[in-house]
Copies of this chain bind each other. A is one copy, B any other.
C-alpha cells in the first residue's frame, strides 16, 4: 500500500459516508424513507407479481438476515406485504402495497434530484468515467475473491 493508495482508500470511506448521510437526510425529509427502505422498495416495485426474499436479497447484495429485519420494519409500516408461496411452504412472496407504491412515487423524484445535487453535479464526464471504471474494477475483484472460497495471502 503506497501512501497514495492509502489516501484514496480513506477518502473512499469518508466521501461515501458523507454522501450517504446527506442524501439519506434529504430522502427522509422528503418522503420519510430511509435509504435502505428505498432500496428495497425500488427493487420490489419492478416485479408487481411478487419477489422471493432470497432473490431480492441477492439482487441488492444483502444477506437474508438483513433483509428480513428490514422487511419486518417495512411490513410494520404497511409498505410491503409478505404472502405465503403456494408452491414452497418455506418461502414467502413480497409485494409492495398500494401505500408502498404511493410512498415510492412520492420519493423518487426528490431522491433523484438529491443524488444529482450531491453526486452527479460534482463530476465532469471524464471524472465520472474514471470513477465508474475504478468501481467496476473493484466490483470484479470482489467477485473474484468472494467466489474463490480459499483464503489467499495478500
**A contact residues vs B (CB 8 Å cutoff):** 1-2, 4-9, 11-20, 22, 60-61, 112-124, 127-142, 145, 152, 154
Contact = CB atoms under 8 A, between A and B. Distances in A.
Contacts of A134: 123, 127-128, 130-131, 134
Main secondary structure of the interface of A (DSSP, over half): helix
A60 to B, nearest CB: 8
Contacts of A137: 122-124, 127
A16 B12 contact: yes
Nearest to A14: B61
Contacts of A60: 14
A140 B152 CA distance: 37
A13 B9 contact: no
A135 B11 contact: yes
Given A14-B60, A118-B141, A131-B134, 10 more contacts: A5-B119, A11-B139, A12-B16, A12-B131, A16-B16, A22-B145, A121-B141, A122-B138, A128-B134, A134-B134
A12 to B, nearest CB: 6
Nearest to A123: B137
A19 B114 contact: no
Contact of A8 (B11, B118, B135, B141): B135
Contacts of A121: 141, 154
